Amino acid sequence: MDEKFHIGECPICRQGRLLLFRNLESGDIYGHCEECEQGFLTPDELEERTGFLTLASDDDADWATEEQISRSVWANYKVWRVTS
């Protein structure tokens, strides 16, 4: 089973976890809220509570791997494994 990762609670809805995905078009790793569908490309966007609505993008995405995360803007951010 592939490991999946998240970076904690969504600052917008406070209901969902921010799951880490990789945009297959751009290669960007971003946090995607499993509840409100808000996306954050950088820790700065997360801290500022800005970002984008992931439903507005037609780009495909897949779970980000640990290696991809380690080479991204999220490398120094606290990351947890998704357990359920």
The 10s digit of each residue's pLDDT in 29-52 is 999 999 999 999 999 999 999 999
- Contact between 60 and 24 under an 8 Å Cβ cutoff? The reply is yes
Domain count, the chain: 1
CA–CA gap between residue 9 and residue 66 (Å, rounded): 19
pLDDT at 84 over 90: no
User: pTM for this structure?
Assistant: 0.92
- Enclosing domain of residue 57: 5-81
Instruction: Tell which residue, 63, 61, 64, 71, has the closest CA to residue 25.
Output: 61
pLDDT in tens, 19-29: 999 999 999 99
**Mind listing the pLDDT tens digit for each residue in 49-76?**
999 999 888 889 999 999 999 999 999 9
**The predicted structure's pLDDT at residue 83:** 86
